Structure 1
């Protein structure tokens, strides 16, 4: 499996048992997902508006 499919699989498993996830685990999944999205955007040449802050992170914070 690729890194992307591994992450998606982990997110699906986590979505099926949200009551068992700690806040640290949820934050870790969220962070990994944002980083993966940034890497994927960069790999297909979609520039980020502000590199140091991702819009999705700003909305949640």
Structure 2
């Protein structure tokens, strides 16, 4: 089972289904990867078509 993670600057608008998951994953990966808190978020790109990206996006296979 493969899924993708992305890091994007700025706000991320998602459907209600993933909002809770995104917050938990953001805290989890922030503690591990030590990402800057300056509006950088980690989110799942799979299963949510309503994710909007304002700036360039880094996508990596996990």
Query: Which fold has the larger relative contact order, with Cα–Cα distance below 8 Å and residues 6 or more apart in sequence?
Result: 2
Q: Shorter-normalised TM-score: what interval?
A: 0.3 to 0.5
Greater share of residues in helix: 1
Report the TM-score, using the length of structure 1 for normalisation.
0.34
Report the TM-score, using the length of structure 2 for normalisation.
0.34
Larger C-alpha radius of gyration, 1 or 2?
1
Which has the larger strand fraction?
A: 2
